[in-house]
Amino acid sequence: MCGIVGYVGYRKVVPVLLHGLQRLEYRGYDSAGIAVLDSEKKKIVVEKQVGKIKDLQEHLWGKDINGNIGIAHTRWATHGPPSIENAHPHTSQKDEFAVVHNGIIENYAQLKEELIKKGYVFKSQTDTEVVAHLLEEYYQDNLLNTVLKVAKMIEGAYAIGIISTLEPDKIVALRKGSPLIVGLGENENFIASDIPAVLEYTKKFITLDDEEIAVITKDKVEIYNIKGEKVEKKPFTVNWDIAAAEKGGYKHFMLKEIYEQPKTITDTISGFFSDLNNPVYKEMKNIESIVIIACGTSYHAGLVGKFWIEKYAKIPVIVDYASEFRYRDFPVNEKTLVIAISQSGETADTRFAAIDAKKKGAKVLSIVNVVGSSLSRESDFVIYTYCGPEIGVAATKTFTAQLVTLFLFAVKSGFERGYISQEDFEKIHHDVNSLPSLVNEVLKEDKNIENISYKYHNAKDFLFLGRGINYPIAFEGALKLKEISYIHAEGYPAGEMKHGPIALIDETLPVVCIIPKDSLYEKMISNIQEVKARKGIVIAVTDSEDKEVVSLSDNIIKIPSVKNENLYPILSVIPLQLLAYHIATILGKDVDQPRNLAKTVTVE
């Protein structure tokens, strides 16, 4: 949620900030703003605009703003609605400090009341403005010491960037619970919420850990902990370039990322087999139960993973929403493995739930896409997916990579626990290696799916059905459609249809049925017959050419057959991604930046 970028160096700062905000717009787009420090005039120039980054760019057109140091922000509203007043950056009463902030200051109301009593006047409804005023109230000739003092006063999760006319050569950044990286350049340095914001300028980065503070000038970067002690941090180098975060000729990032799935699945398989000595597998012999925690799309990946782990590793698995798991007294111990799934590795609910589980004695394995992310560092073990940046808010390629990772983890764990032979392990490896070419076959259905989307884009509701290992894919299909088209959709295990959703079925309701030729095929045929008996519209996602499924379906989306039926979810979800994409684009929706959503949810 929200995006931060900052720069200090030799370049004119405004273009750097605007380019950075464009790269971060997937994190928030209610409003945006910049603060530039004019060192000659010893003045902070602030410009803000409601709407997207292009609205801020148009607002700045023709304005001559000089300076080589500044901070910028794109907002996803939490405290206070989108408005010029609530947009960041926020300044102190004397305009000596400017602040950008991602996260929530939980005790802001109390701090605000105390500051008002001291004569401070608030211009916004945000929690962020208290930070600017606190800096002014407690500043005594040293910005670092002031930030250290203020950091101990504020509670919550945050990433904050600060500039000040009182020390006009630096940016001070602090982080607790929300992501913040430092980019290292030649005679220039950067801060940002995410790497793509500044990747065209540098590939060398430092990740700030919780309760760390960075003091950044154009020539150096110094890191301190909350006690004011200097901390040595080892930089890391990013091995992908800005082209990976560009649309590459596709109309939208989401479509590009759907089409990248053969490559990201290939890379994830390769990455997994290069890490077979991961210490988590030795631990699996001692594990008696597994809890998978995640949010949104990652939660659906966890539901599929439950089937695989129980089948291959013979360990009982519970899948829970991280936001719920954290607040119930679930018994875990040293024989419990908690698998925390998060694309960004910064999802607040998942991170905090994993930390709580560790405190209770559980081991934590994280499955993440971002190297060096908070969750990866806080876990006992980590397995990476290899997707590069995913810019579209609605997860696509990271979901299938999570599925591949969970499948391979289940199989490898089963091998280590003695339930899978070496021969079977190698056979399954061969089956998995066929996935990228099979996904390419699915993508050939794109035009057919677009034609189907034109038929039903005006539907007010959709129902998605699947059985067994494919019912979580029904959930995911419904979520994708809701996220980007704003059409109401529900996903259900097909066997549960008779227990409620069947009441919704009539001649106006499209029902998307996931029906691969697996062990539950005949059961799904029965469910489709129940839909047709009530005049429902059937869209079948299937590899079957049986006359029965053809005669019962109003529309068919073909997927290829697989030897191992446990791999069907990785194929059956891709048509649902494309269906959601095409319906949304036909309706004229912004598929990359759907309303009210942000890519990384770093607040509760």
What domains, with CATH codes, occur in the chain? 3-243 (3.60.20.10), 247-433 (3.40.50.10490), 439-604 (3.40.50.10490)
In angstroms and rounded to an integer, the radius of gyration of the C-alpha atoms of the chain is: 25
Tens of pLDDT, residues 463-493:
999 999 999 999 999 999 999 999 999 999 9
For the chain, the maximum distance between any two Cα atoms, rounded to a whole number of angstroms, is: 81
Whether 599 is catalytic is yes
Please pick, among 2, 295, 387, 513, the residue that the annotation labels catalytic: 2
Low-confidence ranges of the chain (pLDDT < 50): 602-603
- Supply the pLDDT for residue 176: 87
Distance, in Å, from the CA atom of 551 to the CA atom of 83, rounded to the nearest integer, reads 55
Tens of pLDDT, residues 391-416:
888 899 999 999 999 999 999 999 99
- Supply the pLDDT for residue 69: 97
Q: Is 525 exposed, middle or buried (0-12, 13-18, 19+ CB in 10 A)?
A: middle
In 213-332, alpha helices (H): 253-259, 261-273, 280-283, 296-312, 322-325
**pTM across the whole model:** 0.72
Whether 547 is catalytic is no
Distance, in Å, from the CA atom of 486 to the CA atom of 490, rounded to the nearest integer, reads 12
Q: Is 121 exposed, middle or buried (0-12, 13-18, 19+ CB in 10 A)?
A: exposed
- Supply the pLDDT for residue 242: 61
- Residue 557 β-bridge partners: 541
Please pick, among 48, 306, 517, 599, the residue that the annotation labels catalytic: 599
Residue carrying structure tokens 């003045």: 43
Q: 398 by DSSP, 3-state: which?
A: helix
- Supply the pLDDT for residue 599: 55
| Cα dihedral across residues 80, 83, 89, 91: positive or negative | negative
